[in-house]
Amino acid sequence: MPIYEYKCVYCSNKFEKLMKMNEKKPPCPLCNCPFVDKLVSLGSFTLKGGGWERDGYSKNNKGE
């Protein structure tokens, strides 16, 4: 199950919630307001190493 980050419209409280994708938005834990916005967070996926260009897999290096 993914962790979603929300921000309350009324009190601006930011909170995280572990939920299924098809569950309804949770109310704010501080003020119990049902109006919360889902925030876009950075993922934990990062590419490390030389990458495609350095390894010769890019489109620019096909003819070399």
Amino acid 4: pLDDT: 92
Amino acid 53: pLDDT: 61
In tens, the pLDDT along 36-56 reads 999 987 777 766 766 666 556
pLDDT > 60? residue 64: no
In tens, the pLDDT along 14-24 reads 999 999 989 99
Q: CB 27: neighbour CB atoms within 10 A?
A: 14
Amino acid 60: pLDDT: 59
CB within 8 Å of 7: residues ≥ 6 apart? 13, 14, 36, 37, 39
